[in-house]
Amino acid sequence: MTTELDQLVATLDGLRAGVLKKLAGLNETDARRSTVDSGTNVAGLIQHLTFVESLWFEEIVAGGTATRGKRTMQVEPGLSLRTLRAEYKAACAASNEIIAKLADPEAPVTRNGKTHNLRWAILAVIGETSRHAGHADIIREQVDGTTGR
């Protein structure tokens, strides 16, 4: 990959790690606990970001179908944190493989009939992941007082 792609992926990987860190140490109940009117919770953020990875890289970039995660922040009670974590990590690994295969930030990506490039797609996921990492920071602090990266 190019140096630019290496830097973009490193930034995205750092954000991904930060989101997973917010899940670490929470029990099943607290991970699903919402402290905001929207119902957003840390487990739901992981589920949603799994969907984001799949949508952007497996579907939009690679032309397949998004099959991982769910858009919603509401996690089914039977879905364990271990499974949520594993699915997110698998989605991120699949995303990184797609990026590495294209290996060019200028590789064309088409969405809604408009042609963009791989850089555009990666930056979209960086934006989405960073926003939700911030949400996870706040919710985690409200749930049990844990702060920091």
For 71-128, how does the pLDDT look when each residue is reduced to its tens digit (9 = 90+)? Answer: 999 999 999 999 999 999 999 999 999 999 999 999 999 988 899 999 999 999 999 9
Are 57 and 94 in contact, with CB atoms under 8 Å apart? yes
Distance of CA 97 to the CA centre of its chain: 15
User: What secondary structure letter does DSSP report for 36?
Assistant: S
Q: What is the dihedral of CA 1, 95, 136, 23, to 10 degrees?
A: -110
What is the DSSP code (8-state) at residue 113? Answer: T
Whether the predicted pLDDT of 143 surpasses 70: yes
Percent of all residues in the chain with a pLDDT value above 70, rounded to a whole number: 99
Give residue-wise pLDDT tens across range 108-121.
999 888 999 999 99
Distance of CA 149 to the CA centre of its chain: 16
- Helix, strand, coil percentages in the chain from 3-state DSSP, rounded to 5: 65, 5, 30
Q: pLDDT at position 147, please? A: 87
Question: pTM for the complete prediction?
Answer: 0.95
Strands (E), the chain: 108-111, 114-117
pLDDT at 2 over 90: no
Confidence of residue 148 (pLDDT cuts 50, 70, 90): confident
**What pLDDT is attached to residue 1?**
60
